[in-house]
Amino acid sequence: MKKHYAVWLMASGLWSVGSAPATTPPLDLVAALEATSPNPSLGDQAQVPGRLVGTWDVEYTDFAKDGKAIHRTGEFIVGWVMDGRAIQDVWIVNPSGKRSEREVYTTLHYFDPKSRTWHATFVDPEHSSIARFTGGPQGNDRFVLETPDLGSETHRWSFNDIRSDSFVYRDESTSDGGKTWKLHSEYQMKRRGAAPAAP
């Protein structure tokens, strides 16, 4: 699990490879963030997002305005943090085409017991962009978040058909209050290694 948070620290610029001996504050931060299971206070709310915990190989498909499909590869890394009261993910897109550097993004998810909803904050440091989402589980195999922060339309990010070794992520938007949705991205996720044991 520490490997996952080391990735997050490198993505956020808090830790650079080869520059941190084992006793430096960044590694203390890794240890402080790490949680091996959800906090008991989450109850059943931990079940659906908790199934995403682990490392996934990603086949990214994004659709341009003209409908052309753009295919890339990468990783999606998910783990419990902050005493198990939150989940953090890291999106990594491998270099492709004319781009020589990878893309790295992160999202922090936490449950609000008052509204009975999950909140998430997505951060794109490269483009100084941030988006705030709300949502939650829909059934036993789907987790859905929505935001108005990505333009004039409402965006829906959904994790669908969640299985122990696979799921499908979709980015969609609506301009008519949810009557119709336009698909912008669809990502095929395959788990790397075995699924973690249930807490």
Q: What is the Cα–Cα distance from 150 to 157, expressed in whole angstroms?
A: 11
Q: What angle do CA 100, 103, 105 make, to 5 degrees?
A: 165
DSSP 8-state class, residue 44: G
Place of tokens 């987790």: 143
pLDDT value at residue 194 = 83
- How many CB atoms within 10 Å of residue 42? 21
The CATH topology of domain 35-191 is Lipocalin (2.40.128)
pLDDT tens figures, 3-59 = 444 444 444 444 444 444 555 677 888 889 999 999 999 999 999 899 999 999 999
Q: What angle do CA 134, 163, 187 make, to 5 degrees?
A: 65
pLDDT value at residue 127 = 94
pLDDT value at residue 30 = 84
- How many CB atoms within 10 Å of residue 169? 21
Between 179 and 21, the more confident residue is 179
74 and 94 in contact (C-beta within 8 Å)? yes
DSSP string, 17-41: TTS--TTSHHHHHHHHHB-SS--GG
Average pLDDT over every residue of 144-158: 95
Distances (CA, A) of 146 to 86, 121, 155, 182: 18, 11, 6, 14
pLDDT tens figures, 91-150 = 999 999 999 999 999 999 999 999 999 999 999 999 999 999 999 999 989 999 999 999
pLDDT tier for residue 197 given thresholds of 50, 70 and 90: confident
Output the average pLDDT for the chain: 89
pLDDT value at residue 106 = 97
Whole-structure pTM value:
0.84
Domain boundaries, the chain: 35-191
